[in-house]
Amino acid sequence: MTNNGEPRSISRPALKRLPSYLQFLKALHHDGVQSVSAPIIARALHLNEVQVRKDLASVSTASGRPKTGFSTNDLIRDIAAFLGYDNVNQAVLVGAGHLGQALLSYQGFENYGIQIVAAFDSDPTLIGTQVAGKTVLALDKLEDVCRRMKIRIGIITVPDAAAQEICNRLVEGDVCAIWNFAPVHLQVPQHVLVQNENMAESLALLSEHLANKIQAEGIE
């Protein structure tokens, strides 16, 4: 579940502390620790205990029990959701050429609850134009928009030569899943998923099926 629909108020310093809470909680969880108290978190991260309680209360409805503390599981889930790490239903698209425009106009994604929320291009004649109700944005805003909107999925429909650079910039914007239409092998950090869409391979497959069928019919 993402909480994009219900923004909660949190101070900028608190927001910056959330990833370190998450990292610490995941380490605890990994070690089999099922609950944790605010003083333990505060000590480990060199923070004030009251501050920790306040930070956690602003992002999680998990309430610490007097003796056992907070459930690490619940805190991990709530902080990750707050940070949008689980935003798997929104994507940005880079490259608003024919294929990009076709994908932006495609209605079918909605059936799966997925939305392409922004499109980017480097072509000045495309920037500012509308495609299927979405304004094409300048490429220099890419990382910033991805981070601000907590986008985790990037769609690459740029020419082959530009694909790796765009991929790097998406990763820089915290995108961690790439749908790649450029017929190039993208280099990504280990935590990033890449799904390649090779159009030629798909048509070649049909051609091969047809060839096999013709041969089989000739032999029969």
Question: What are residue 79's phi and psi, to 5 degrees?
Answer: -70, -45
**Number of residues near a copy of itself (by CB under 8 A):** 55
Could you say whether residue 172 binds a copy of itself (CB under 8 A)? Answer: no
> CA angle 110-112-117, nearest 5°?
50
Type and span of the H or E element at 156: strand 153-156
CA gap 201, 210 in Å, rounded? 14
CA distance 79 to 82: 5
In the bound state with a copy of itself, the residue whose beta carbon lies nearer, of 123 and 140, is: 123
List the one residue from 89, 129, 164, 168 that touches a copy of itself (CB under 8 A).
Answer: 89
Encoded one letter per residue, x for contact with a copy of itself by CB under 8 A and - for no contact, window 56-85 reads -----------------x--xx--x----x
Work out whether 206 is an interface residue with a copy of itself (CB under 8 A): yes
Closer CB to a copy of itself, residue 41 or residue 93? 93
| Residue closer to a copy of itself, measured from CB, 104 or 139 | 104
Q: Does 179 bind a copy of itself (CB under 8 A)?
A: yes
Kindly tell me which of 140 and 208 has the beta carbon lying closer to a copy of itself.
208
Q: Of 89, 97, 167, 110, which Cα lies nearest the Cα of 136?
A: 97
CA distance 174 to 189: 11
Helices marked H in the chain — which ranges? 12-30, 38-44, 49-59, 72-82, 98-105, 142-148, 160-172, 199-219
The answer to whether 123 contacts a copy of itself (rule: CB under 8 A) is: no
Does residue 33 touch a copy of itself according to CB under 8 A?
no
Taking Cα atoms as reference points, which of 102, 106, 115, 38 lies closest to residue 69? Answer: 38
The CB-of-199 to a copy of itself minimum distance in angstroms stands at: 6
Q: Is 213 in the site for a copy of itself (CB under 8 A)?
A: yes
In angstroms, the CA 33 to CA 141 distance is 41
Chain residues in the site for a copy of itself (CB under 8 A): 26, 29-30, 73, 76-77, 80, 85-86, 88-89, 91, 97-99, 101-103, 105-106, 108-109, 111-112, 114, 152-153, 155, 176-177, 179, 183, 193, 195, 197-211, 213-214, 217-220
